[in-house]
Amino acid sequence: MSYLINSDEILQTINMIDQQHLDVRTVTMGISLLDCADTGTDACCRKIYDKICRNAEKLVPVCEQIEGELGIPIVNKRISVTPISLVAASCDTEDYVPLAEALDRAAKTVGINFIGGFSALCHKGFTDSDTKLISSIPKALTQTSLVCSSVNVASTKAGINMDAVALLGKIIKETSGIDPVGCAKLVVFANAVEDNPFMAGAFHGTGEGECVINVGVSGPGVVAHALKECKGLPFDTVAETIKRTAFKITRMGQLVANEASKRLGVPFGIVDLSLAPTPARGDSVAEILEEMGLETVGIHGTTAALALLNDAVKKGGVMASSHVGGLSGAFIPVSEDAGMIASAEKGVLCIDKLEAMTCVCSVGLDMIAVPGDTPAETLSAIIADEAAIGMVNSKTTAVRIIPAKGKKVGDRVDFGGLLGSAPVMNVHAGSSVRFIERGGRIPAPLQSLKN
Partner 1 sequence: MKKAIVSVFAKDSKGITAFVTSLLAENEINILDISQTLMQEYFAMIMLVDLADCPLSFSELSGLLKTRGAERSLDIHIQRSDIFEAMHRI
Q: Could you tell me where the DSSP H helices lie in 179-321?
A: 220-227, 235-264, 285-291, 302-318
CB-CB contact of 175 with 135 (8 Å): no
Residue closer to partner 1 by CB (options 21, 248) is 248
Omega cis (within 30) before 200: yes
DSSP secondary structure code for residue 417 in this structure? G
Q: Helix (H, G, I), strand (E, B), or coil: what is residue 412?
A: strand
> Shortest distance, CB of residue 2 to partner 1, whole angstroms?
6
Which residues partner with 397 through β-bridges?
190
> Shortest distance, CB of residue 281 to partner 1, whole angstroms?
21
Residue closer to partner 1 by CB (options 246, 379) is 246
Residue closer to partner 1 by CB (options 21, 395) is 21
Residue closer to partner 1 by CB (options 5, 449) is 5
Contact residues for partner 1 (CB under 8 A)?
A: 1-5, 7, 9-14, 65, 68-72, 248, 251-252, 254-255
> Shortest distance, CB of residue 221 to partner 1, whole angstroms?
15
Torsion of CA 40, 41, 42, 47, to 10 degrees: 90
> Shortest distance, CB of residue 209 to partner 1, whole angstroms?
25
Residue 50 belongs to what H/E stretch? helix 41-56
Residue closer to partner 1 by CB (options 25, 248) is 248
> Shortest distance, CB of residue 11 to partner 1, whole angstroms?
7
Residue closer to partner 1 by CB (options 15, 39) is 15
For residues 315-327, one letter each, b for 16 or more C-beta atoms within 10 angstroms of the residue's C-beta and e for the rest, the string is bbbbebbeebbbb
Q: Helix (H, G, I), strand (E, B), or coil: what is residue 330?
A: strand
Residue closer to partner 1 by CB (options 67, 194) is 67
Work out the angle at residue 415's Cα, subtended by the Cα atoms of residues 414 and 421, and round it to the nearest 5 degrees: 50
> Shortest distance, CB of residue 104 to partner 1, whole angstroms?
30
> Shortest distance, CB of residue 13 to partner 1, whole angstroms?
6
Q: Which region holds residue 301: left if phi is over 0, alpha if psi is between -120 and 50, else beta?
A: left
Question: How many C-alpha atoms does 41 have within 13 Å on its Cβ side?
Answer: 12
